[in-house]
Chains A and B, each alone.
Chain A
């Protein structure tokens, strides 16, 4: 396994901290004129997304994490697990519910997803930024009803629940931003 000296750690370096893989966001060298040198490192935990800051002695080292991203196509869900296939070499990957996180509510078969792999296994699944999905359930919505700010809830074919404008009906297609979970526009097939 690779090990980095603290002065080799760059933004984007993948490391293992407290047993979890993380990506370095910032590495600031801190050295009083007289006194021990330190590195203040900001690391985003790749499993939880949480950003943490740690101080290391500059002459220490940190273990590198074998983390790569692969572009895949979502194949199917077998009831408990989600199956993916890499675009370039057709390698297949399996993710469980925890690893899927929020991504699971946006995925339709054949969607393109970026998987983050740690030691060859998925730890994070990124859905496409925009998805087009069918409204599975929504109230008819009465025109002129402004009590709800001109929107209503809609359940999409993948199970996600979002707010949509009142005029949309069951069976229509909508474009959704998966980063915010917000309705963007009506869509066509």
Chain B
């Protein structure tokens, strides 16, 4: 008789903890006047980001959503006011100790906030759930200068490559994009050290890594984007949200051009989302927080699987 992996990957204790954290989150936002919403998991359009791969559901051709961002912004444009959602998200091929192709996100939006005001609220939430102290805040530039003594906005490609090899990082691929080298340095040499005592908010990313954040003109131009790190792990990513529909369409087109170069699927960009932006997205900030990773910290787990009833290998 073969042994089927029928048992959960999380302990029953961890599931109790999970339920408690979800209740705490709902109470937190309800008390603070945010509306809980649900948006479709299946949508006709999906993300264009060249490094996020969607799953397409046949025979409908709808995509499982990699994040509820576009639909939630459509609600904001329709006048929802502050909203939050706890939802499943799906990303093809993301499997590992800290990744599961199906995972749970908390995403919320605050009209009238910028990324710093949203960091304040993130800080309050993390303190409530993880009983940690106030988060550190440090800019993307300062973190690179602190750990690697280089300026991420001005360092030449060769300087980044040289820094990587000094750090003992050997990449078996020919990488010629500055941003990719910055991401390698951040993920290999910096991230494991971040937030060892209290959470760390990393903010003001290079404009070339803006994703859906506003870009502030200047020298250098900076993306109003932040990430949350705790115990050496990325927990959340937030933006002071881009409102300009023309600029958004341009960013989608740029993503699709890169996708073409990489011979990746060419999804249609989300015209409903673009129409909502054209109608008018309120000035707002939004953030997505990985609930499973949050639970890893709350339960001192080593793997994401220990926080989920059934991880991908048992699903």
Residues of A within 8 A of B (CB): 7, 28-38, 40, 52-58, 60
Contact = CB atoms under 8 A, between A and B. Distances in A.
Contacts of A36: 51, 180, 183
Contacts of B5: none
B171 A55 contact: yes
B97 A38 contact: no
Contacts of A32: 183, 186-187, 234
B1 interface: no
Contacts of A35: 51, 179-180, 183, 187, 209
Interface string B230-245: 0000100100000000
A152 B310 CA distance: 60
30 contacts: A7-B93, A7-B95, A28-B96, A28-B97, A29-B96, A29-B97, A29-B98, A30-B96, A31-B51, A32-B187, A33-B227, A33-B234, A33-B237, A33-B288, A34-B209, A34-B211, A35-B179, A35-B187, A36-B51, A36-B183, A38-B187, A54-B171, A55-B170, A55-B172, A55-B188, A56-B173, A57-B173, A58-B93, A60-B172, A60-B173
Contacts of B211: 34
B128 interface: no
Contacts of A37: 51, 93-94
Contacts of B288: 33
A52 B172 CA distance: 12
B184 A29 contact: no
Q: Which 4 A-B pairs have the closest CB atoms?
A: A29-B96, A35-B183, A33-B237, A55-B171
A52 B288 CA distance: 35
Contacts of A30: 96, 187-188
B194 to A, nearest CB: 13
Contacts of A34: 49, 51-52, 209, 211, 237
Nearest to B168: A53
A34 B184 CA distance: 12
A36 B94 CA distance: 11
Contacts of A60: 172-173
B136 to A, nearest CB: 19
Contacts of B184: 38, 55
Given A37-B51, A53-B168, A56-B172, A31 B94 contact: yes
Interface in B131-145: none
Given A7-B93, A32-B234, A34-B52, 14 more contacts: A28-B96, A29-B97, A30-B187, A31-B96, A32-B186, A33-B227, A34-B51, A34-B209, A34-B211, A36-B180, A53-B168, A55-B184, A57-B173, A60-B172
Nearest to B99: A29
Contacts of B95: 7, 29
Contacts of A56: 171-173
Nearest to A60: B173
Nearest to B50: A36
Contacts of B117: none
A57 B180 CA distance: 11
Interface in B68-98: 93-98
Contacts of B187: 30, 32, 35, 38
B87 to A, nearest CB: 16
Contacts of A53: 168, 170
Interface in B46-74: 49, 51-52
A33 to B, nearest CB: 5
A52 B51 CA distance: 27
Interface in B10-42: none
B213 to A, nearest CB: 10
B301 interface: no
A52 B183 CA distance: 21
A74 B94 CA distance: 47
B169 interface: yes
Contact of B169 (A7, A31, A33, A55): A55
A17 to B, nearest CB: 8
Nearest to B290: A33
A49 to B, nearest CB: 18
B173 A29 contact: no
B99 A54 contact: no
A103 to B, nearest CB: 30
Nearest to A26: B97
Contact of B170 (A28, A31, A54, A58): A54
B101 to A, nearest CB: 11
Contact of B188 (A29, A31, A40, A57): A40
A28 B233 CA distance: 13
Interface in B192-242: 209, 211, 227, 234, 237
